[in-house]
Chains A and B, each alone.
Chain A
Amino acid sequence: MRLSEVWRTSTFRLSLLYGLLFTVGAVALLALVYVRSAVYLTQRVDRILDAQASAEMTLPPSALRQTINDALLVNGRASVFALFAADGSKITGNLRVLPAALQPGGRPIEAAASADFPAATRLLARRLPSGEVLVVGRDISQLREIRRIIASALIWSGVLIVVAGLACGVALSLGPLRRLRLLQAASHDIAAGDLRRRMPFSGQGDELDMFAGTVNYMLGEVERLMAEVKTSSDTIAHDLRTPLTRARAQLHRLAQSPKVDPADIGRVTAELDEVLERFIAILRISELETRARSAGFTATELGRILEQAGELYQPLAEEAGVQLSVSAPHPAIVEADPKLLFEAVSNLLDNAIKFTGEGGRVRLELEAGGAGPRIIVQDNGPGVPPGERTAVLQRFYRSERDRLTPGSGLGLSIVAAIVRLHRFRLELQESEPGLRVVIECRPSY
C-alpha cells in the first residue's frame, strides 16, 4: 500500500480537514489566552510603576533620595529605583546608565538583564521639576516566563495536533483501503471468469457494504444471463448440427455417385434452407432483444391487428382443415409497436394452426380484462407438456415436437422476445385439451 494511495482516500482527506480545523481552533484559543494574559500582566506592572513614580515625584528632592535609598534596601533585588542628573549622570540608585531608549515621560520600556540588574525589567522614567530624571522599574522575568510557557504550549500543541491528525488520517484510511483491496481482488477474480465469486461484506452495513451489495446483485444478473447465453448457444449448436450433418452426408454421397440426380440436390438445398431459416429466426430474436425499447411505439388498436392477422392466416387455416375464428368485440388501445405485435400474433397463429391439425379449432380473441387487454390464442391441439412450458419461452428453445415439423421452431421464442420488449406478460396455459397462449398487454415496470 503506497502512501500516495492513502493520501487519495476520502477518509484521509476528511481526517486531514478535521485536523486542520481543530488545529486552527486550538491555536486561536491559545493565542487568545496568550495575548490576554500577557497584556493584562504588562498593564498591571505599568500601573504599579506609574503609581510609584507619581508618588515619588511629589516628594521634595532630599526626601526623594532618602526614599530611593530606603526602597533599595528593602526591595533592591526585585525593583529598580534610580535618579539621574539632567546631563544623564547617575545620582543614586541601582541602575548605572540611563537606557537610551527610555524617554522621560514616555511609555514604559522593557530592558534585558544586564550587569547592573540581573533580571529583565520594565522601566518607566519621569523628569522632575528640577530637571533630574527619576527611573522606576520592576523585575518582569516571571511575566516573561509565563509568556514563554504559553507560547511553547501553543507551538507544541499545534505540532502535536497536526501530527496526530495526519497519523489518525492514515490509520483511518488504512481500514477502508484494505477493504478496497479485498473488493479489488474479488473483482479481478470475477473479471478472470469466476462468476460465482461475490464481493466481500464486512457486515458493518456501511457505504462499502452497500456498494458491494449492489455489485453482487449485478453479478447475479450477469451470471444468470451468461448461463442463459450458454444454454442458448448450446441449443443452437445442437439444433444446427443435425441438419448440417445430414446435408454433409448427402453431399458426400453425391460426390461419390457418378450421376447427379437434381432431386438429391433439392434435398440438400432443403436441408440447408432449414438451417438458414433458423439463422434468420435467431438473428431476429437477437435483434429484438437489443432493440431500443420504445423505438416504434405508438397508440395501437389491438382489435385491428387481430383482424388483420386473422385475415392473413385464414387461407392457411382453411388449407390445413382448421377452423380459425377471430373475436375482438371491444376496441382496446395500448402503447405498442403494431408491426411487432402483428408479428407476435402471426407466429402464435402459425404455431396453433400447425400443431392443431385437420379438424382442429383455433380461436384468436381480444379480452378486456381489468388489468388491461389480453390477446388469447387458443387451440385444441396436443398442447405443450407442463414441464416444457417455461422452457419454450426461453431464448432459442425448440420444443421436441418442433423437431418434426417444418419451420424454424423458434416462433415462440420470437413471440417471447417481442412480449419482453413491450414489458407485457406471456403465459402458456393448459386448455383441456390444447394450448392457450395469453399476452397480457399491460406493461409492468
Chain B
Amino acid sequence: MPRILVIEDDPQTAEEITACLAASGFESLRRFDGPAGLEAAMTEQFDAITLDRMLPGLDGLALIKALRDAGSDAPVLMVSALSDVDDRVDGLRAGGDDYLIKPFAPKELVARLEVLLRRHRTSGAEVRLRVADLELDLVKHEAVRGERRIELLPMEFQLLEFMMRNAGQLLTRRMIFEKVWEYYFDPGTNLINVHVGKLRRKIDGPGLLPLIRTERGQGYMLYAP
C-alpha cells in the first residue's frame, strides 16, 4: 500500500485529502506545518508527498529545496492557491514534480499522485510502449493495433504516448491538457473530450476491444481489460 505524506496546514483540506487517499487505497500521514512536515519527510519513507505551497514555519518552496538537498527523490505534488504560470514554474523549479491548483477535486489529486508514483517507478527510457495489442514505437513514431498501422497526427501521438505511459490510471482533462499541450489555462471540458474522442476512433476500431474508457465527469483511462 503506497504511503503518502500530506503536508497541509488547513485541517479541512487535509481531512479531505486523506479521506480521498484512503478511499483510493493509500495510506497517509498528516503534518500541519513546514518544520514538522520536513522532519517526517526526512525520517520516514514515503512513496509520494503532497505539499501545500504556503505553510506556517517553513514555506513549501524552502521545504522542497531542503528535501532535495538532503538527497530525497520522493515525488512531490505541490498544492497551491497561487495559480500563476510563474508560481507554477517556481514550484517545479524548486523540485516539485507536479503542481495542482486549489480548489481542486479530490479525485484530481489522487489521479495526479498515481501518475507521479508510476513515473517514479518506471525509468521513462522505454522505446516501446504496449497496452494489450496496442503498441507504440517511440523511436519510429509508429502506432500499431494488432496488425493494423494507425496514422496519427503529432499531437495525437503525444496524447496516446501520455495515456499509454499512464495506462490504468485516471487522467483528468486538465491533466491531459497540461501534460500533453503544456498549457495551463482552463480549456473547457469539451475540447479535450473531442481530442480523446478522435484518438479513440482511430485506435478503438469497430470489433476491437475498447481501450480508452471514459470515467464519467472525471476523465479518461487507457486500460487493458
Instruction: Give A contacts to B, CB under 8 Å.
Output: 266, 269-270, 273, 276-277, 279-281, 283-284, 287, 291, 295-296, 311-313, 315-316, 318-319, 339, 342-343, 346, 350, 406-408, 414
Q: List 23 A-B contacts (CB under 8 A).
A: A266-B217, A277-B186, A279-B103, A280-B186, A281-B186, A283-B83, A284-B185, A284-B186, A291-B84, A295-B86, A311-B155, A312-B155, A312-B187, A312-B191, A315-B194, A315-B195, A316-B190, A319-B194, A339-B85, A339-B183, A346-B183, A407-B188, A414-B185
Mostly, the A contact residues are: helix
Residue of B nearest to A344 (CB): B185
For the complex formed, measure the closest distance between the CB of B178 and the CB atoms of chain A, giving whole angstroms: 12
Choice from A316, A339, A346 contacting B194 with Cβ under 8 Å: A316
Quote the shortest CB–CB distance from A317 to chain B (angstroms).
Answer: 9
Q: How far is the CA of A407 from the CA of B85 in the complex (A)?
A: 22
CB distance from B35 to the nearest CB of A (A): 30
Interface residues on B, range: 20 to 34
**Residues 192-204 of chain B, each 1 if its beta carbon lies under 8 Å from chain A, else 0:** 0011011000000
Residues of A within 8 A of B184 (CB): 339
Nearest to B84 among chain A residues (CB) is: A287
A284 to B197: give the CA distance in the assembly, Å.
28
Please give the distance in Å from B76's CB to the nearest CB on chain A.
23
Measured between beta carbons, the chain B residues less than 8 angstroms from A283 are 83
Chain B 35-60 interface residues, beta-carbon cutoff 8 Å to A: none
Q: Which residues of A contact B216 (CB under 8 A)?
A: 266
Give the one of B185, B197, B216 with max A CB within 10 A: B185
CB-CB under 8 A from A280, the residues of chain B are 186
| In the complex, residue of chain B having the shortest beta-carbon distance to the beta carbon of A408 | B186
Chain B residues numbered 141-178 whose CB sits less than 8 Å from any CB in chain A? 155
Name the CB-closest residue of A to B155. Answer: A311
Q: Would you give the shortest CB distance from B120 to chain A, in whole angstroms?
A: 28
The answer on a CB contact under 8 Å between A287 and B188 is no
Q: Which residues of B contact A408 (CB under 8 A)?
A: 186
Please name the residue on chain B nearest to A337 by beta carbon: B85
Whether A342 contacts B183 by the Cβ 8 Å rule is: yes
Q: A318-B194, A350-B191 are in contact. List 17 more A-B contacts (CB 8 A).
A: A269-B217, A270-B217, A276-B103, A277-B186, A280-B186, A284-B83, A311-B155, A312-B155, A315-B195, A315-B198, A316-B191, A316-B194, A319-B197, A339-B184, A406-B189, A407-B188, A408-B186
Smallest CB–CB gap between A198 and chain B, Å? 37
Q: What residue in chain B is nearest A292 (Cβ atoms)?
A: B86
